[in-house]
Chains A and B, each alone.
Chain A
Amino acid sequence: MKVITANFVTCAVKECKTSAASFPLHFQDAELEQLELDLQPEFIRNVLPRVDWDSLRITATELGFPALPETKPEGDALNDEQTLKDLHRLLLETSVVEGKLVCGNCGHQYVIKEGIANFLLPSHLV
C-alpha cells in the first residue's frame, strides 16, 4: 500500500467516518519498500490539492521520513523539481508491504500483506 492510498482512505467502519480520530489511519510495524517509478509532475499537480496535508505529515513522520513543511506546496512551489521529486518519492514510490493500519477511533487493525491492505470488516463492525 502506497502512501498516497493511505491518504485517501480512512476507517471502513461507518460510525468512525464522522470522527476526526479515525483519520489518518496509523501505520504499525510497517515494512517499507522503495520503488523507482517515472516522475509525473502533472499528476502531482493535479492530485496534491486532494491530499490531506496534515494527515500526510503525520504518516510521513510515522514512516520515518524527515518532517514535511507545515503548509502544502502550492502554485510556483510545484514547479520546483526537488519539491516534485520529494513528493513523488513519498506518495508514489514508498510502499508498505507488510504491517497494519490502525484506526485511532475504534482501534480496529487493517492488515497489510504483500502490499495488499484488507479493509473487510468482521460482522460486528458492519
Chain B
Amino acid sequence: MEYLVRLAQCHETFRQPELEAVATLLGIDLEIIAYHEYTPFCVVRLKDEAAARALVARCILAKDVLELWGQGRTYDDLHADVQQRSRHLWEKYRQVSYALAVDCFSGKRSTAKKTEIFESFGYLGLEGTVRLKGPDEQFHVIEEYVTDVEQHSIGTELSSEPRMIYFGRWLAKSQRDVILTHTLKKRKYISTTSMDAELSLVTANLALAAPGKIFFDPFVGAGSFLVAASHFGALTLGSDIDPRAFRGKDHERKDGMAMLQNFKQYNIVSQFIDAFTSDITNTPWRDTQLLDGIVCDPPYGVREGLRVLGTRDGKVIEPVIIDGELNYYRKGYIPPKKPYGFEALQKDVLEFAVRRLVPNGRLAMWMPTASDESKSFPVPMHPKLEVISVCVQPFHNWSRRLMTYRRLPEGEVSDTTLGRNKTDGEGVSADDLNAFRVKYNNRRALGTDQPETK
C-alpha cells in the first residue's frame, strides 16, 4: 500500500536520510516512490498501516502520515484514481464518524470552494456523522501548489491551480513536538556552540539511537547530542578536552555537573552514564568494539579552539617536583596543548570510530565547508566505514554537513577513492592547519559575511 508522508519544508537534504535511517532502525521495508526537495509530500510504499505509523512516529522532519487513497494533477484525475485504487476500502468506513479537511500547501481556497470539493467526494458513501472534534477517522484532501522558493531556484512557473492533489486517510503524527520541549530557549544548561534541538534529534536518528544502545560524543560540550540520543532511549557518555562546558561554573553546578540538569529537565537521568575529560588523540577508551553510535560536531577552530595534547614546538616538558609533589598532580595544573589540523582531527575521529564501533554501528559527524568548496567537497572516508548519507545545512556564505557512516562488518570494504587523502596534521599555527578557518576569516575580513546572530 502507498502512504503519503507530509514532511517539514526545511532541512530538505536531511529528510529522506532520516526516513531511511528510521526504517533501518525499525526493520521496516521502505520504498520511496516520489520525493522532491521543493515539496513536503513524499509518497512511500510500505507493508502495512502499522509500519507507516511506526515509521513516522519516530521521525523529527516528518509531520504526519496518511493512507493514500488516490492522487492526480486535476480533480478528475484524482477522483478516477481514488475510485480505482481505494474502492475496496470504502465499505469499512461507511458508518464511522469523520471529518474532511482541505489542506493547501502554498495556496488558498475559499470556504465555498472547499465545500464544493467536499461534495465532489460524495461517491465514497460516507454515511456516519460529521464530527469536527475527535472523529473516528479524518480524511484529507491535500493540494500542492508551486512555491515561490521553487520558482526562484529552478524557474518552475507559478500557477493558481495545484500541481498535485492527494486524498487520504490520516494515520499518525510524528515526533516533531519534541523540538518544542527540547528547544535551547527553554533548556536549563547550554553553551555558545550548542547544536539546536531539531538537528540534534535528527543526528541521533541518523545514528540509530535506541533503547539498549550505548552512544558517545567525543566533543560533548554542553551535551546537546547526548540528550537527543538519550531521548530515543540510548545510554550516553561524553568527553571533551575542555571540561568547563559540561561541568559548568560553580554557580551552574547543583548536585553534579551542569550538563546533568538537562537530563533531569527531560526526565532521562537514567540514560546518562558519564562525562570525562580526555583528548581524542590520547583517548582512554579500550581499543575494542564497545559503542553502538558516535555522534559529534568536532570544533571548527573558528569560535572555539581546535587543540589537542602536546606542545607547539614539539619539545617535551619534563616533570618537576614542587613542594614534594609532581607538578602535574597539583591542583590547577593545565596540560600543554597545541593547535591541530581540522582534517587531521576528522581522520582521527574516523579511526576512533572504526576501532570502537560494533559492526553496523554508526558515526554521525558534522563538518563545516566554505561554500566555494561545496560542488566537489571531499567527504573524509575510511575503508571500514560506508558513507550512508551526506546532508547539507546551507548558510549565507558557508554550509555545514552531517555525514553518517556505518561500521562495516569484518570482510566488507568501502570504496574510498572519492575520499580525501591529504592530511594537515603537520603545521604550527592555527591557520596553517585549518583551511576552513582561513577561508572563514578571509571572508569576514572582506565584509561578505552576514553578521552572526546573537
Contact = CB atoms under 8 A, between A and B. Distances in A.
Interface residues of A, number: 39
Interface in A14-48: 14, 17, 23, 37-38, 40, 42-43, 45-47
Interface string A94-126: 000000000000000111001111111111101
Interface of A: 1-2, 4-5, 8-14, 17, 23, 37-38, 40, 42-43, 45-47, 50, 52, 92, 109-111, 114-124, 126
Contact of B319 (A38, A111, A124): A124
Contacts of B211: 40, 42-43
A123 B336 contact: yes
Given A40-B235, A123-B317, A114 B257 contact: yes
B286 A122 contact: no
Nearest to A33: B256
B150 to A, nearest CB: 45
Contacts, number: 121
Given A12-B278, A23-B286, A123 B310 contact: yes
Question: Interface size class for chain B?
Answer: 35 or more
Interface of B: 211-214, 235, 237, 239, 241, 243, 246-247, 253, 256-257, 269-270, 273-279, 282-290, 292, 309-311, 316-319, 327-329, 333, 335-336, 358
Nearest to B234: A43
Contacts of B256: 114-115
Nearest to B358: A50
Contacts of A14: 282
Nearest to B213: A46
B278 A45 contact: no
Contacts of B284: 9-12, 110, 119
Contacts of A122: 317, 319, 327-328, 333, 335-336
A8 B215 CA distance: 13
A21 B274 CA distance: 24
A124 to B, nearest CB: 5
A12 B329 CA distance: 16
Nearest to B272: A37
